[in-house]
A and B are shown apart, each in its own frame.
Chain A
Amino acid sequence: MVLEYIGLNQISGPLIALDGVKNAGFEEMVEIKLQNGESRSGRIVQIDGERVIVQVFEGTRGISLTNTRTHLTGRPMELALSPEILGRIFDGKGKPIDGLGDVFPEKFADVNGMPMNPVSRTYPRNYINTGVSSIDCLMTLIRGQKLPIFSGSGMKHNELAVQIVRQARIAEEEGAQFCVVFAAMGVKNDVAQYFRRSFEDSGTLSRVTMFLNLSNDPIIERILTPRCALTAAEYLAFEQNKHVLVIMTDMTSYAEALREFSSSKGEIPGRKGYPGYLYSDLASLYERAGMIEGHTGSVTQIPILTMPNDDITHPVPDLTGYITEGQIVLDRGLDGKGIYPPVSVLPSLSRLMKDGIGEGYTREDHSALSNQLFASYAHVQDARSLASVIGEEELSPIDHRYIEFGKAFETLFLNQSFHENRTIDQTLDLGWQLLSMLPKEELDRVDDEMLEKHYKKSETPGTAGAL
């Protein structure tokens, strides 16, 4: 017998309260039927004896205290999964919206997932060659890593993500097992279209699963979107043995949805009104990247977030940085100079690269080279700030060379075309060429042997002369 509860007790924002409910489970899904025949779904977020609070994903517009019939489904939010989800498009809570009908499920999985046992994880070591110099050399992406892009409105994070998807190659012969799960949270229609078209153009659409919650879609549904996407990704990776790249954009919109939900629930806010559990909540998403011992598949995440007012100390990028294994930060200054991708080198970082590069993975000089590039480019910033005070002419000869090096580094190394796919050797050789613009004594992060092998004093970079 299905019990239905007629009417409600309270409506506040996206939340409704029902009284006299027996045997409700925490986080159980409920179905709400309106008098006009419309059906909405919700989730129990709090239980106080016989009073339950339900979060309605589609919003509470049109709901009154009397016009609903609610029944409990007895299960937490589950996603229907089968290998056929590749190539399909779903809405933010996992319902197909591409007109191809429901997924014929092989299994159902709780979208909240379960925490991966740290003992069962394999430490990620294999790098993914993205063909983008700045990423490959300085913040190498590793299979099983979570590496977010910190961007701002109007910068080219979407292009960069598309380029990574198009060019990403895995070192071993496992390209066929590569697929993409794309989760859009509160992004503009155009952006979703752009990703869709780009996947189509590069012929990867049949290997992409999309979950779309656009900016005009219900906000509370947004809280489910990344969970659905990651559940799909885990299924593809650990049951279908695929290498899954998950792109989630825009995490800031997700966090805002969480804030809205939290404040309507009357919770005590933490920083900037975000709930105190924002860290745990984001972690429950980001930590679902990784590899498991005994499984060949992997989940790699590239979350994209726009920093409000380009502020990296804003709670969303701040907490994200504490959870993810590094970050790629985009810089508006470089973007303004027309450099693509405008990767701000110094604050960017990949924590896993130290064990996934070097001999056997990329090249034995990779680690020393990237350290030296970081150190030298940091010196460029000092020289520039000095130049802005005393003028470039007054700089010492060595600082002059740093300024030159900085310019060349930005225009030749960071800058590359949207369609340019550089091999790791090209990238590393270019790095050495640029370092050769500096006197040998300045390169203190590299040991002599390596310097001997790669430092080319006579040879200035071929294109640098054209500057």
Chain B
Amino acid sequence: MAEKNVIYGVNGPVVTVKDTADFSMQEMVYVGNDGLIGEVIGITSDYTTIQVYEVTTSVRPGEPVKGTGMPMSVELGPGIISNIFDGIERPLRDIEQATGPFIGRGCNIPALDPDREWEVTVLIKPGDRLGGGDVYAECPETPLITHRLMLSPNLSGEIVSAKPSGTYKVSDVIAQLKDQKGHIHELTLSQRWPIRIPRPVAERLPCTLPLITGQRVIDSLLPIAKGGTAAIPGGFGTGKTMTQHQFAKWSDADIIVYIGCGERGNEMSQVLEEFSELIDPKSNRPLTDRTVLIANTSNMPVAAREASIYTGITLAEYYRDMGYHVAIMADSTSRWVEALREISGRLEEMPAEEGFPAYLPSRLSEFYERAGYMKTLNGKEGSVTVIGAVSPQGSDFSEPVTQNTKRFTRCFWALDKSLAYERHYPAINWMTSYSEYVTDLAEWYEENVGKDFLSCRAQINSLLQEESNLMEIVKLIGADVLPDDQKLVIEIARVIRLGFLQQNAYHKEDTYVPMQKQLKMMQVILHLYNRARQLVSASIPISRVEEAGLFDKLIRIKYDVPNDKLSELDGYIKYIDDTIAGLTA
């Protein structure tokens, strides 16, 4: 019997089906004899256009295309954390079991292990009325994360039967729910959700908690809020990936979703290896216990790369709905946008700037707007923070992806080539970067870090600004001709740059720095500045302070003072006072 819907044309990852009205937009379909996964992206009366998430070599016209009747969606349930998925939520470890070290085609493996048993506590009884998003059961997913099973946001009704607490598999029915129309729905440990539709929430709350990353240049100068958005643009070799790794390791989110979107395979294997070895300081558990990895390396099919960003944010929203703070690292959003461009080109759409499709800004804003600090449907508070790396072509920040991303994010951490050349990491340029969250977070900083935190931050910033103005002059005539008070600014700014902004990710004390130490370091540096300024006004040459080794001693604070012995920093204040007193004597 002839199949009704068969492939008509093939062009790279784009497949067309002729004369059919069976498919709907964004429906997930199986393409060809191998059952490759695809999604409907265009429908005309003549053709239905499908993007295929796998390699289309050897696909032939006449092979069948089967619809699923569902939009492209992911399975949500226990077993997501600690796992590594490809762009359409297929578990890569299980794919390895099935097809060996190279990824084969058409392996439809369930996202969640169907045989694994979970210790489920059922929280409902027959007669309970549940609304969308209400929790009906929970189970420990990892030692850090309790997985809360929530009613799908679109459902509500009355429980008609419920099983007792016990061990269940993902597909076991643990309760039945009768909705208003009298239909019975079976509740298992999992649910599906379409990746391109944001999960609903009760209300959006203002972002007033910072996401502490332990990176001084971020936490002190350019902070990001939980539920905020940030862009990290930088040319190749400026340390985008390293910065993202540092955030993934040290930020104080409950759950990290790391999306390797069109990046290097070796980097993903490094993340896998490193995260299982690294111990989270707060919980003493491996970082993998709170991390989900989505790996769609640059040689994996381009359409799945386009989907990987949505898959990642959908997983993040699901955990946010349970009341967790989730941070997403997307490395790199440029690869995602390029995948959009590639598919747009195959569809022969009219290109806008640099060949990118005209809907580039709207897709970017849709993505970043899914971040936020939310009150969930079940009354909890949770957040999704999005940190997206951008890889500008030719390191030129005026290109469309960087410019449009800038419009939709509130933190902009520009990585600088010349800083990276000096091996100044993180190579975040403090002059061109900005954060709009400082005022939102001011209250938190004053209550939890110190009353003078914001004024210290402002002074440090203005010193750096002043240095940058002075450097214009120094570049022309050299530093020697400057008056002593200006020389002092340059010296102090050097201390700030080397001793404070520069941070060594491989040093065990320096890789993560608590807020209190950050504040004290700023205080010590500013104290030296104020004392040295008194010297200068008393006409004592600044070179004497240099000779006393004070500047260099401060630069080494980051290595010399352990994070758990902050009291040693008070000794520095005294040391500065004593040394300076010695100079004036």
Contact = CB atoms under 8 A, between A and B. Distances in A.
Interface of A: 22-28, 46-50, 76, 110, 112-124, 144-145, 238, 267-271, 275-277, 279-280, 283-284, 286-288, 290, 292-295, 313-315, 318-319, 321-323, 325-327, 346-347, 349, 351-352, 354-355, 367, 371, 374-375, 378-379, 385-386, 389-390, 394-396, 399, 441, 444-445, 447
B565 to A, nearest CB: 18
Given A121-B265, A287-B265, A293 B101 contact: yes
10 contacts: A23-B61, A117-B92, A117-B96, A118-B84, A120-B96, A120-B100, A121-B101, A269-B355, A270-B341, A325-B264
Given A23-B62, A118-B269, A270-B354, 6 more contacts: A113-B102, A145-B266, A314-B394, A319-B393, A327-B236, A390-B477
Interface of B: 8-12, 16, 18, 55-62, 84, 92-93, 95-96, 99-104, 235-237, 260, 262, 264-270, 272-273, 295, 297-302, 335, 338-339, 341-342, 345, 348, 351, 354-355, 391, 393-396, 417-418, 421-424, 474-480, 498, 506, 549, 552, 555, 559
A117 B101 contact: yes
A321 B264 CA distance: 11
Nearest to A50: B61
A378 B422 contact: yes
B397 to A, nearest CB: 12
B57 to A, nearest CB: 4
Contact of B348 (A268, A275, A284, A349): A268
B502 to A, nearest CB: 9
Contacts of A276: 338, 341-342, 345, 355
Nearest to B59: A26
A325 B102 CA distance: 21
A40 to B, nearest CB: 21
Nearest to B549: A441
Contacts of A371: 423
Contacts of B264: 287, 323, 325
B269 A123 contact: yes
Contact of B423 (A112, A347, A374): A374
Contact of B299 (A115, A322, A346, A447): A115
A123 B266 contact: yes
B551 to A, nearest CB: 9
The B interface, classified by DSSP as helix, strand, loop or mixed, is mixed
B354 A76 contact: no
Contacts of B422: 374-375, 378-379
Contact of B57 (A112, A115, A280): A112
B515 to A, nearest CB: 25
A119 B93 contact: yes
A26 B57 contact: yes
Nearest to B102: A114
Given A46-B9, A287-B265, A116 B101 contact: yes
B102 A115 contact: yes
Contacts of A287: 264-265, 297-299
A124 B266 contact: yes
A231 to B, nearest CB: 12
Contacts of A293: 101
Given A112-B55, A118-B268, A280-B302, A292 B355 contact: no
A26 B60 contact: yes
B93 to A, nearest CB: 5
B329 to A, nearest CB: 16
Given A347-B237, A390-B477, A267 B354 contact: no
A323 B477 CA distance: 41
Nearest to A24: B60
B104 A386 contact: no
Nearest to B268: A118
A129 B242 CA distance: 25
Given A276-B338, A318-B394, A322-B391, A117 B95 contact: yes
Contact of A123 (B273, B391, B396): B273
Contacts of A286: 298
B552 A114 contact: no
Given A268-B348, A378-B422, A396-B478, A47 B11 contact: yes
Contacts of A114: 55, 102-104
Contacts of B394: 313-315, 318
B61 A47 contact: yes
Given A120-B96, A277-B302, A279-B298, A26 B56 contact: yes
A227 B541 CA distance: 66
Contact of A355 (B18, B101, B270, B338): B270
Given A112-B57, A115-B300, A267-B345, A290 B265 contact: yes
Given A23-B61, A115-B103, A49 B269 contact: no
A48 B95 contact: no
Contacts of B55: 112, 114
A270 B11 CA distance: 18
B57 A27 contact: yes
B506 A354 contact: yes
Given A114-B104, A444-B555, A119 B348 contact: no
Given A115-B297, A284-B299, A76 B58 contact: yes
A24 to B, nearest CB: 6
Contacts of B298: 279-280, 283-284, 286-287, 323
A124 B269 CA distance: 9
Contacts of B95: 117, 119
A443 B148 CA distance: 53
Given A49-B8, A49-B9, A283-B298, A445 B423 contact: yes
A322 B233 CA distance: 13
A276 to B, nearest CB: 5
A441 B99 CA distance: 57
Contacts of A22: 61-62
Given A287-B265, A315-B393, A318-B394, A27 B101 contact: no
A110 B270 contact: no
Contacts of B506: 354, 367
Contact of B8 (A48, A279, A386): A48
Contacts of B299: 115-116, 280, 283-284, 287-288
Closest 8 A/B residue pairs (Cβ): A283-B298, A313-B394, A120-B101, A287-B299, A321-B236, A118-B268, A114-B102, A121-B269
Nearest to A442: B552
Nearest to B274: A123
Contacts of A389: 475-477
A113 B105 CA distance: 12
A123 B96 contact: no
Contacts of B424: 375
Nearest to A320: B236
Nearest to A118: B268
Given A123-B270, A325-B264, A396-B480, A268 B345 contact: yes
A279 B338 contact: yes
B173 to A, nearest CB: 32
B393 A271 contact: yes
Nearest to A75: B58
A25 B59 contact: yes
A278 B477 CA distance: 46
Nearest to A440: B552
Contacts of A354: 506
Q: Point out which of B18, B95, B270, B295 has the most chain A C-beta atoms below 10 A from its C-beta.
A: B270
Q: Point out which of A277, A292, A375, A395 has the most chain B C-beta atoms below 10 A from its C-beta.
A: A277
A327 B351 CA distance: 32
A277 B346 CA distance: 10
Nearest to A398: B479
Contacts of B58: 25-28, 76
Contacts of A268: 345, 348, 351, 355
A118 B297 contact: yes
A45 to B, nearest CB: 8
Q: Point out which of B61, B424, B555 has the most chain A C-beta atoms below 10 A from its C-beta.
A: B61
Given A114-B104, A116-B265, A119-B272, A279 B335 contact: yes
